[in-house]
Amino acid sequence: MKQSLDYSISVKHLIEYFQGEVVVKRENEYKYLQAKKLLEVINIFESDVSLYQRIYQISLIYKNAEVFYNDFKNFMGYEKDPFLKSYLRKLNGIYKVYSACDREGITNDISYLVKFQNYSRTFNYCKFVISSYNNSDISFDTFKFCDFLGIDFDVFNYCIKVIEELDPELYEKYSVKAAENKEKRRKSVLDKTNRLVSGIKNGVTEDGKTFTLIEFFKLLPFFNNNFVKQILADFDCKMKSNYMLNLIGFFRTVYPENRLVIDYIHKHRLVEKSFEPVNLNYIYSTKVSVNGRVITDEDNTQILSYMEENDIPMISRAYTEVRNQFLKDGLSNEKTNVKRYIPKAKYTIVN
């Protein structure tokens, strides 16, 4: 009797899984997601499209028939149930068709043809992007180039794949330009790093000014999410989980006198939070008093505008340092009339 009861409960749960009418407990979540994927496969296979399209859409969910079978077999054993047997029969039939397509190499052919078709639709745009990259003076800074075109790195990388597939001649030109740009970036980063180390050593900048933490921030090898990935790749550094680890990892891999820089970081108590992006809403909505002086909206606008005009990264600790300088010396003789700072460029800082 107990065996029959357990069987009924299990079938009831499976029905709920397939119908999507169950509040999923944490331990059952994986099986529920399996059932949803399998039901999606059934819906695809019963849709009014060609067999090729059906196989392609299924391959986006399960990369091959065996992966599909591994999910499907977890629900076998309920063939006698009036409700579930129709699902299991359909899944078994789909598996036979899908596995036959795999054996004959049809699945790979379909994926290639559909990919080629999608590539063809976007070819003209991708050609424009890569041609622009090849002819651009700013493309050595890929982030700045992408920002100029209004695209992100994913779109840019997609365009590279399309051109590699459909226009080998243009891709060859891109490869030459990309190699040149990599060397330009490496040279630029090493030049900044040399100036940063020299400033720490000698206590002065190239033009004889006192080397401050603000100058340190300006000479960092990277502070942008996309650019950090690019620079680390250029120097064969491993990507770490946060900004501080990436920064220290870069110096340890690239620069022989890395201990000098790392000690400087520790001396000034720089932590992950120091490199968080400035929060404009927080800055303007929170009244701050420093040594009895209340920082006004006009003050903040002047501080942030100064940071942007002098290429100081828009990060938390840099803002604090510039604010301290503002309170001590003032930043300029001009007072801005703008009450709230509006950035001229995008700043995405690594977290």
Structure tokens belonging to residue 278: 């400035």
- Highest-confidence range of 222-236, 285-299, 303-317, by mean pLDDT? 303-317
What pLDDT was estimated at residue 338? 57
Residue 350, by phi and psi: left (phi above 0), alpha (psi -120 to 50) or beta? beta
Backbone angles phi, psi at 299, to 5 degrees: -60, -50
Q: How far apart are CA 189 and CA 101, in angstroms?
A: 51
SS3 295: strand
Taking CB atoms within 8 Å and a gap of at least 24, the contacts of 72-77 are 72/38, 74/31, 74/34, 75/14, 75/34, 75/35, 75/38
- Nearest one of 236, 263, 267 to 250, comparing CA atoms: 236
Mean pLDDT for all residues in the chain: 81
Total Cβ atoms within 10 A of residue 65: 23
107, 213, 331 from 321: Cα distances, Å: 59, 8, 12
Mean pLDDT of 194-200: 93
Selected residue with higher pLDDT from 267 and 152: 267
pLDDT in tens, 65-111: 888 888 777 777 666 666 677 777 888 888 888 888 888 787 777 76
* Confidence bin at 329 (pLDDT 50/70/90): confident
Mean pLDDT of 34-47: 82
Residue 330, by phi and psi: left (phi above 0), alpha (psi -120 to 50) or beta? left
Percentage of the chain exceeding pLDDT 70: 81
- Nearest one of 258, 348, 332 to 298, comparing CA atoms: 332
Indicate if the pLDDT at residue 178 is higher than 90: yes
Distance of CA 343 to the CA centre of its chain: 22
pTM for this model (two decimals): 0.60
Instruction: State the DSSP string of 270-294.
Output: --GGGGSBP-HHHHHHS-EEETTEE
Q: Which amino acid is at 156?
A: F
What pLDDT was estimated at residue 147? 83
Indicate if the pLDDT at residue 181 is higher than 60: yes
What pLDDT was estimated at residue 153? 83
* Confidence bin at 177 (pLDDT 50/70/90): very high
Indicate if the pLDDT at residue 4 is higher than 80: no
Mean pLDDT of 182-206: 92
What pLDDT was estimated at residue 268? 95
What pLDDT was estimated at residue 9? 40
Backbone angles phi, psi at 127, to 5 degrees: -65, -40
The per-type count for the chain, helices as H runs and strands as E runs, is 16, 2
**What is the number of alpha carbons within 13 Å of residue 79 lying toward its C-beta?**
8
Mean pLDDT of 170-183: 96
* Confidence bin at 144 (pLDDT 50/70/90): confident
* Confidence bin at 12 (pLDDT 50/70/90): low
Selected residue with higher pLDDT from 12 and 36: 36
Indicate if the pLDDT at residue 117 is higher than 80: no
Total Cβ atoms within 10 A of residue 36: 13
Mean pLDDT of 40-53: 81
What pLDDT was estimated at residue 102? 80
What pLDDT was estimated at residue 349? 40
User: How would you class 144 by CB atoms within 10 Å of its CB: exposed for 0-12, middle for 13-18, buried for 19 or more?
Assistant: middle
DSSP code for 28 = G
Structure tokens belonging to residue 253: 């891999």
Indicate if the pLDDT at residue 327 is higher than 80: yes
- Nearest one of 101, 75, 96 to 16, comparing CA atoms: 75
Indicate if the pLDDT at residue 29 is higher than 70: no
Indicate if the pLDDT at residue 16 is higher than 70: no
Selected residue with higher pLDDT from 46 and 79: 46
